[in-house]
Structure formats: C-alpha cells, structure tokens
Amino acid sequence: MFALFLIAGVAKLAELDAFWWTLVREHGLSERISTPASILVPAGEVLVAGLWLAGLDRSRAALGGLVLLAVFSAYLGVQIATRAEPTCGCLGVLAEYARWMDSARVGIARNLLMMLPLGAWLWFGRATGAGSVS
C-alpha cells in the first residue's frame, strides 16, 4: 500500500505541470487551489510512504495515509453525488496504465480497503503502546 503511495507521488512529481493541468482541466479546481495542491498532494504521498517504508514513524505514516485516502474518497464521493464523470490523476505519468481507477466507486472501495489495515494498525498498535502518536 505504501509502495503505491510512493509510486503515485513520484509519478506526479515527475510531471508537475501535467498534474496541475489535470487538477484544473479535469477536476475543475481553480488555478489558485491547484498550484499548492499539485505540490502538496504528491509530496504528502511520498512523505507518508517514506515514513512507513523507512520505519521512522509508522504511526504518523498510518495516520497520514488514512487522511490522504479519506480526502481522496470524499472527493470521489462528491463526483458521484454531482454525477460528474469520475477522473483520477492518481498515478501521474502512469495514468494511461491505470484507466480502471477512473471509476469513483472502485476508487472509494479501494481506499476503504486500504484504510482498514491502517486503522487496525493504529488501534491495536496503541493498545500495545507500539502505535503511539506523539
């Protein structure tokens, strides 16, 4: 799961202009919002993946992963509610290989499945003291 965050973040960072354009044109975000989002989203994905994969702070990585997935899922839910065709810039330059991600329902289901082990790790890790967020 965290490898996917890493791949998605690096792919977006590899072509920031294309990701920015996707946010503006396909997602309908304003240029004012798209500019910081085009940097913060992939940077957050890489940060969360790096924290987890390096074993530096898995509690914060799990929490960050939950937040990212919840935000992505909420956005896909808005697309469903407004009947807008769901779009996804999830994998940046690798997007042509991931057209299946265009379905908002599939995206939400995938994100919920990925949130379960993160939440369980935080919950059970805290019970044993291993997952404390300080």
Does pLDDT of 24 surpass 90? Answer: no
Domain for residue 133, yes or no?
no
To which residue do tokens 């997935």 refer? 69
Cα distances from 70 to residues 14, 46, 47, in angstroms, run: 24, 17, 17
CA distance 103 to 76: 9
CA distance 124 to 87: 35
Domain for residue 15, yes or no?
yes
Domain for residue 16, yes or no?
yes
pTM: 0.66
The pLDDT assigned to 97 comes to: 47
Domain for residue 67, yes or no?
yes
Residue pLDDT, tens place only, 86-133? 566 566 555 554 555 556 777 788 888 888 888 888 888 865 655 555
The pLDDT assigned to 75 comes to: 80
Largest Cα–Cα distance in the chain?
Answer: 47
Domain for residue 21, yes or no?
yes
Quick one: tokens of 25?
Answer: 């044109």
Domain that holds residue 33: 2-128
* Type of residue found at 41: V
Residue pLDDT, tens place only, 46-93? 999 999 999 888 999 999 999 999 988 888 787 778 766 656 656 655
Return the exposure string of 88-97: e unless at least 16 CB atoms fall within 10 Å of the residue's CB, then b. Answer: bbbbbeebee
How many structural domains is the chain composed of?
A: 1
Domain for residue 134, yes or no?
no
In order, the DSSP letters of 23-67 are IIIIT---HHHHHHHHHHHHHHHHHHHHHHHTTS-HHHHHHHHHH
Domain for residue 61, yes or no?
yes
Domain for residue 80, yes or no?
yes
CA distance 38 to 24: 10
